[in-house]
Amino acid sequence: MIKNHGHNHREVELTHGSLHVFANDEVFHSLEQNVYVMADHNLQIPRSVHMSYTPDAHIGIGTCIGTTAIWNMKDGFVSPSIVGSDIGCGMRVHLTPLHKRDIEDKQLRRELIKAIEKYVAVNERGFSHYKNIRVEKILTEGIHGLPPQYVPDYYTPKQRRSITHVEHDKFEVDPTDFQDLPDKMWARAWAQVGTLGGGNHFIEIQHIRIAEEKRDIAEKWGLFDGQVVVMIHSGSRAWGGMLGPRYTKDFKASMHLWGVGTPDPNLVYAPIQSEAGKRYLNLMYSALNYAVVNRHMIAYGVHQGMKDLFGEDFKMPVLYDLMHNYALREPHRNQLMLVHRKGTTRALPAGHYLNREAYKETGHPALIPGSMGTASYIMVGEEAGVKNFYSICHGAGRLRSRRATKELISVDQFAKSMKVGTDDEILVNQRTLESILDECPQAYKDVDQIIDSVVGANLASVVAECKPMAVIKGI
């Protein structure tokens, strides 16, 4: 049974509970049946408070990407499957003083790509340029664990954007849980600080167009029409990636002892207050610390490349950094809850007390990537977002698997979407488009339909549209 609440909000009754779906008619009717099967498996975890899909929802491992799932802290459950494997994966945007016309020349943009690649390792294995960063410090202290040379505004209280303009600059972590982690994790974590990684991770040079109805907010955030911004998408790299499988195995063993389970062997969970649950949350928060630092250091490298081209005085302040794969303790309905967001973004409205001080008045920027040939968006949460615990989409969401994309989409189609050969060509760092065909725009849903769904549901509003000019992809 489907209950239509209006404003792109439907409630789907499944065998084991209700699933809230926030999508316009076109997106809702395009959702495949398996997403509901997966939701029903998730709803078999006891005492669920709320579960929803944003319009970018698509099949994942154990849980759909685009899921918000919530339990009470006192008697609820935590699930590594609903957090996802790339713990702390998220978005970051930096402002520049440049206007679109300043980098319209294609040769200049090619030089910019090369300058950035000089400082940011983009291969999948990654090899950090920053050997004086102590991994245990950033895992337990977040940005505060970095050497001062990488956080030059740290000691200027009125200008500490590196600390104040991020969703979380530090999660509390008990390092005693690190004791039995394998040396391989530590070695890879050390080697990957400030590296991009492969898959859908990217650095994108964009220009923006401000939404007229949100111009006052845009100006308060330091945005202007035609402005060049830098958008970064990456996560906790191997540290988070290696935690997931490790604790999936541990959780499976515990579930077997308790005599509980679900039809999906990839879906695991444990009571929040159990030893397994507490340990997983603690280590998950270490991965969140790593992820924020990783994006910070990627941005540091981008800034070095920018200074090589535009001069030592070039400024590139952070607008915001946020995550879309995690489980956070948050107060809702006068209770402390554990909010899992797997491929969903928190979008707090103006005045919400969980906003960082810099964004109390306006609400914080919610950063929503499209695909390398389409627009991305900077949004702001609305009061009505309370109905979905202030969760919105995290991007366009995949339409096709990587394999299906390679089978169905030609390199010529990809090239056309990137405007290859025109003055408006979106430049990429790869030698051939064929090498990144599985990440082409045709692999993703129509981001404009996704944004229309979110806006129509009154969850968030568009502040600025971001058009790509140059893209750096990991390999």
CA 435, distance to chain mean position in Å, is 23
d(CA 31, CA 51): 16
User: Would the annotation count 376 as a binding residue?
Assistant: yes
Report the alpha-carbon distance of residue 194 to residue 126 in Å, rounded.
Answer: 9
Provide the b/e sequence for 406-444 (b: ≥16 CB within 10 Å): eeebeeeebbebbeeeeeeebbbbeeebeebbbbbbbbb
473 among annotated binding-site residues: yes
325 known member of a binding site: yes
Length of the chain: 475
- Please tell me whether residue 34 adopts helix, strand or coil conformation: helix
Q: How far is CA 12 from CA 7, 33, 201, 236, 260, in A?
A: 15, 12, 32, 34, 25
86 is in an annotated binding site: yes
Q: How far apart are CA 454 and CA 392, in angstroms?
A: 7
233 annotated ligand binder: yes
What would you report as the CA-atom Rg of the chain, rounded to the nearest whole angstrom?
Answer: 21
Using alpha carbons only, give the angle 441, 444, 449 rounded to the nearest 5 degrees: 105
DSSP string, 76-107: -EE-HHHH-SSTT-EEEEEEEEEEGGGG-SHH
Please check if 394 is assigned to a binding site: yes
How far is 169 from 321, CA to CA, in rounded Å? Answer: 9
Is 202 among the annotated ligand-binding positions? Answer: yes
Check if 29 is active-site.
no
397 belongs to an annotated ligand binding site: yes
Q: How far apart are CA 202 and CA 233, in angstroms?
A: 5
CB contact set of 376 (below 8 Å; sequence gap of 6+)? 204, 206, 231, 367, 368, 369, 370, 447, 465, 466, 468
Angle at 41 between CA 37 and CA 42, to 5 degrees: 115
Distance CA 5, CA 20 (A): 10
Q: Which two tokens stand for residue 58?
A: 């698509």
* 396 is annotated as contributing to ligand binding: yes
Question: How far apart are the C-alpha atoms of 307 and 324, rounded to whole Å?
Answer: 30
Is residue 91 a known part of a binding site? no
**200 assigned binding-site residue:** yes
Indicate which residue of 9, 41, 58, 394 is catalytic.
394
Strand partners, 6: 9
**Nearest-angstrom CA–CA distance, 8 and 404:** 29
Q: Is there a binding annotation on residue 448?
A: no
418/467 Cα distance (integer angstroms): 12
Residue 409 φ/ψ region, left for φ over 0, alpha for ψ in the -120 to 50 degree band, beta for the rest: beta
Q: Is 474 annotated as a binding residue?
A: no
Residues within the annotated binding site for Mn(2+)? 86, 201, 233, 324
Residues within the annotated binding site? 86, 200-204, 233, 324-325, 369-372, 376, 394-397, 473
> Active-site residue numbers?
394
Residues within the annotated binding site for GMP? 200-204, 324-325, 369-372, 376, 394-397, 473
